[in-house]
Amino acid sequence: MAPKSDKTNWADESNVLTVTVLGCTGDLAKKKTYPALFALFLHEHMPPRTVVLGYARSPLTDESLRERIRPALKGPKDQVEAFLASCFFQQGEYGSDDARENAESDPPVFGALGDRVATLEASRGFPGCRVTGHRIFYLALPPSVYPPVCANIKRACMSPTGWTRIVVEKPFGKDLQSSEELSAGISELFTEAQLYRIDHYLGKELTQNLVVMRFANRFLAPLWNRDNIANVQILFKEPFGTQGRGGYFDQYGIIRDIIQNHLLQLLCLVAMEKPCSLSPDDIRDEKLKVLRCIEPVR
C-alpha cells in the first residue's frame, strides 16, 4: 500500500498515517480490507503511528466496530487486540451526486470525518512535535457513489500537512461508458499519483506466485506455450452464497464482480509473454498484449 514515489520517513515521530475505510460495515471490508490491514500490522509492515478509521452510515461505536471485525482477524490474541486498539469508527453520510455543484453553499458532508481524522492524527503524534498527517481513503463502496464521495473527500478531508491517496475497488463502472465517466470525474479531483485502482484478487498468494512459477521455473518455462498446452480452464468456486450481498449483485451481477476483473487478470497472467522485468509497468504491458489478441465477446 506504499504510495507511488513515497519517500516518507516513518521513523520520524512526526509522521502519522490514517487509513480511512469508507463502507467499513460492508462484506468487502469485513472479509478483505480489515484482515489485510491486520496482516500488515502482524508482519510489522504498517507504520508505527497508524490509525484505521471506519466510516459508514450505521449507528456504531468504536467498540461495536471492533466486535464486528474481531472474528475476521486470525492471529495471536494479544496482536489482534493491539490492532483493534488502533481501529475507530465515525458515522456519517456519503453525500449526493450534486456534491460538487453545491460545494460552496452547503456545509461539507464529510466535515465531521475530516475533524475526526485531524483529532486522531494529533493524538498519535509525539508530544511537542508538529504532526505531519498522511491519509489513505479506501473506498469499499459501490462505484455509483465514487464521484460524490471523492468530491466530499477533496472538499473536507485532504491532508493539510502530508499526502493524500484514494484507493478505489473494482468493478469500476458497469460498462465502458460508465467506467470512462467515473475516471473522468475522479481525475478532475485527483492526480494519477493520488489514485489507486485495485483488484484485491491480485493479492492472493496463488495469484502472485503465477509469474514466478511460470518464468522462474526452469522446468515449466520452456514448456508453457501453445505447442505443449492444448487447453486452459480457469474455474472459480466459492462454498457460500451472496450472504447479504444481494443488493450489490442485483445492481452489478456476478460477471462484473468476478469475470471481467478477477478471472480476466488470471487469464492475462497465464497467457502473457515473459515481461522485461517484474516492474508493474512491464507486467501491465504484457497483460495488455494478451487482451488485444482476444476477440471481443458478443
Place of cell 449507528: 59
Rounded CA-CA distance 141/169 in Å is 8
The beta strands (E) that lie in the chain are given as 15-22, 50-56, 87-91, 132-139, 164-169, 195-198
| 262 belongs to the catalytic site | yes
- The x, y and z cell numbers of residue 165, run together, are 491517496
Sheet with 50-56, side-by-side order of all strands: 87-91, 50-56, 15-22, 132-139, 164-169, 195-198
Q: What is the amino acid identity at position 233?
A: Q
Residue 229 in 3-state DSSP? coil
Residue with cell 452489478: 252
DSSP string computed for 98-159:
TTTTTTTTSPPTTHHHHHHHHHHHHHHSPTTSPPEEEEEEEE-S-GGGHHHHHHHHHHHT--
Classified as helix, coil or strand, 280 is helix
> At 284, which helix (H) or strand (E)?
helix 280-292
For residue 109, give every residue at least 6 positions away whose Cβ sits within 8 Å of its Cβ, in sequence order, or none: 92, 93, 94, 95, 99, 148, 152, 156
| Residue 62 grid coordinates | 468504536
- The single residue of 43, 134, 200, 262 carrying the catalytic annotation is 262
Residues annotated as part of the active site: 262
